[in-house]
Structure 1
Amino acid sequence: MDSGGQGGGYLAGKMIVVEGGVRDADEIIELGFPVFPRHVVPLSGKTRIKVVEINTEVVVDNVAVRPGDILLGDATGVVCVPYEHAAEVERKSREIHDRDHALMRNKGFEVT
């Protein structure tokens, strides 16, 4: 997807990452659709948006994102997990999570 003069936009599952500007980002997020733009703009892209390619590799902030890759995002940013590494990343993430929670419990921290 091309956001017409605002950079490329890339739709992935239940969120959108835009290598450019987005209007009404707060309102879009309030609808339960996370959006991660490079910046916010006051202009609508309605007349400038066109489909360029579907289901193809794109580059966002110098990171290649391929069909099937997993994108995870929150207020601090977005990370791309290559599909072929997803199981290993999940396993290591669980190990780190469990170790961190065990350390906090042993130090008397409350874990919620």
Structure 2
Amino acid sequence: MSEETQNTAQLGEKIVEVLKTIFDPEIPVDIYELGLIYDVFVNEDNDVKVLMTLTTPNCPVAETLPVEVEEKIKSIDEVNEAEVEITFDPPWSQDLMSEEAKLELGLL
């Protein structure tokens, strides 16, 4: 593994840690465990792009949650730029939640 790949992987882990500090206001589980984060891309310039969804298109935090995600990722020293893209394809469902999230919400 090249040093660059290793640095990118470490940054990816830091990003996941930050994402786990952001909670959906309606569900007491972080957005990562909820399965709202579809993908995190980090390039060699440490530009980050997050592909995420919301529980519903008219989610009450549709305006603020992506901004919070972007701001928190930008707060990581190594991150150069951060961009959050919202998608509803595929639409979010409970199947995307981690076992931990399902357990937390009494779905298991």
TM normalised by structure 1 equals 0.25
Higher relative contact order (CA 8 A, sep 6+): 2
- Larger helix proportion of the pair: 2
Which structure's CA Rg is the greater one?
1
